[in-house]
């Protein structure tokens, strides 16, 4: 299929239920995070791979809000019960299975070590999705299962966000709420930098756990759901090559805008661009089948890649694999393990999840209905 030079119109966007390029963006995100864990102390480019989590967050805020708004437009209301059933069936089964696996492995290998004792101290926070408030990354050996902070961040946000959309009568009230969250986080961050508040206090930690990309993604979802907003966005980021241009800007600016609101804006702009113009240059690259497949199993890769990394290190030592080639083994192993998880375990729950769709789901819709995942930060 040839690449078209003009973006589809609003009606085409609203009718589109699957954006293949979003799976491609998830692929970039998970690969970036894996490279970060492998090489962040060795290569400068890998040191910024932790920002792959922000791209995950950007997709999450935009996509979930879009689904909620479309459900309300189609049905006149949002079913909170169905939303939380979908979310639970996608997130909880594998998450808690991996928590159990970590418990077993820690009992077998690290039970009497300091790291092992700390892990068992942290288990209640992992089980309740509050690790981003109570677990800090400290110590020379790291913190086992620390990357659960990211799912905690999402689950906390989505405990409240669907209710706000569901029960506010004016469209702008949820947007005002999001701007309030952004401003509050910016204020607390400024006060912390001035030494006026303790960053380890619980309330500042809770506020600072709010993710800029999720917030910006929610706002942009509202913009594109409105016909006039879509028309404006289409003129700004719907032109031929806009998505590739934004991707290049992100690649360059990530060195200077690390964990900033501006970086979140650029990432959400990329997410929106590939949805506005699915046939554009970068969107097409992100839609290649192998790239999309990695994005579709990225949740399993996210939860299991640290275990795979331990196996990879053993292989590297045993066969003296040069460091610069270790990523091939790690990513290949993560894809294999995540594929096994997806096809033998996760798919059972995804089939159940389809019963709670806001509308009758088609086979090709699974990727857009499945909530995005996130990965580790520093």
Query: What confidence score (pLDDT) does residue 377 get?
Result: 38
CA atoms of 115 and 346, how far apart (whole Å): 30
Alpha-carbon span 105 to 108, nearest angstrom: 5
Q: What is the pLDDT of residues 111-128, one digit of tens each?
A: 989 999 999 999 999 999
Task: State the Cα–Cα distance between residues 221 and 67, nearest whole angstrom.
Answer: 9
Radius of gyration of the chain measured on its C-alpha atoms? 20
Alpha helices in the chain (DSSP H): 10-15, 20-39, 52-75, 80-109, 114-127, 131-134, 148-167, 172-193, 202-208, 212-225, 227-237, 242-253, 261-276, 281-285, 289-296, 298-319, 326-341, 347-353, 366-369
Buried/exposed 55-89: b ≥16 CB within 10 Å, e otherwise = bbbbbbbbbbbbbbbbbbeeeeebbeeebebbbeb
What is the average pLDDT across 230-236? 97
If you average pLDDT over residues 256-282, what whole number do you get? Answer: 95
Average pLDDT score over residue span 292-306: 98
Does pTM top 0.85 for this prediction?
Answer: yes
What's the mean pLDDT in 205-211? 96
- Grade residue 256 by pLDDT with cuts at 50, 70 and 90: confident
Range scoring the smallest mean pLDDT among 21-25, 256-260, 293-297 = 256-260
The set of residues, in sequence order, having a beta carbon less than 8 Å from that of 49 and lying 6+ positions away, is 32, 33, 34, 35, 36, 37, 39, 40
Q: What is the pLDDT of residue 4?
A: 62
Contact (Cβ atoms closer than 8 angstroms) between residue 353 and residue 14? no
Provide CB contacts within 8 A for 200, sequence distance 6+: none
Residue 374 has pLDDT above 50, yes or no: no
Q: What is the pLDDT of residue 142?
A: 76
Q: pLDDT confidence of 368, banded at 50, 70, 90?
A: very low
With vertex at residue 18, the alpha carbon angle to CA 156 and CA 91, rounded to the nearest 5 degrees, is: 30
């Amino acid at each position: 299929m040839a690449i078209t030079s003009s973006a589809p119109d609003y009606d085409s966007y609203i009718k589109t239920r699957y954006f293949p390029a979003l799976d491609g963006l998830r692929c970039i995100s998970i690969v970036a995070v894996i490279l970060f864990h492998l090489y962040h102390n060795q290569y400068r480019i890998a040191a910024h791979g932790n920002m792959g989590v922000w791209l995950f967050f950007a997709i999450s805020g935009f996509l979930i809000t879009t689904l909620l708004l479309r459900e309300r437009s189609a049905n006149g209301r949002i079913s909170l019960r169905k939303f939380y059933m979908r979310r639970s069936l996608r997130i909880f089964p594998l998450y808690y299975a991996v928590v159990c696996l970590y418990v077993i492995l820690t009992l077998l290998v690290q039970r009497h070590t300091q790291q092992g004792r700390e892990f068992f101290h942290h288990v209640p926070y992992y089980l309740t999705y509050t690790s981003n408030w109570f677990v800090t990354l400290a110590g020379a050996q790291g913190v086992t299962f620390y990357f659960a902070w990211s799912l905690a961040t999402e689950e906390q946000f989505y405990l409240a966000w669907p209710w706000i959309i569901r029960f506010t009568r004016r469209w702008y009230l949820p947007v005002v709420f999001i701007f309030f969250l952004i401003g509050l986080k910016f204020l607390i961050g400024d006060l912390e930098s001035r030494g006026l508040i303790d960053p380890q206090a619980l309330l500042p930690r809770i506020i600072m756990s709010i993710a800029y990309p999720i917030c910006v993604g929610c706002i942009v979802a509202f913009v594109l759901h409105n016909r006039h907003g879509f028309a404006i966005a289409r003129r700004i980021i719907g032109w031929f090559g806009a998505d590739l241009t934004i991707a290049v800007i992100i690649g360059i600016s990530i060195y200077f805008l690390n964990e900033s609101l501006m970086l979140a804006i650029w990432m959400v702009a990329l997410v929106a661009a590939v949805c506005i113009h699915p046939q554009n240059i970068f969107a097409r690259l992100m839609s290649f089948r192998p790239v999309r497949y990695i994005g579709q199993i990225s949740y399993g890769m996210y939860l299991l890649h640290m275990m795979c990394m331990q196996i990879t290190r053993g292989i590297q030592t045993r066969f003296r694999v040069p460091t610069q080639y270790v990523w091939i083994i790690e990513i290949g192993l993560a894809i294999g393990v995540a594929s096994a998880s997806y096809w033998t375990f996760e798919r059972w729950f995804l089939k159940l999840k389809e019963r709670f769709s806001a509308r009758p789901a088609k086979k090709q819709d699974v990727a857009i209905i499945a909530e995005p995942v996130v990965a580790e930060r520093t």
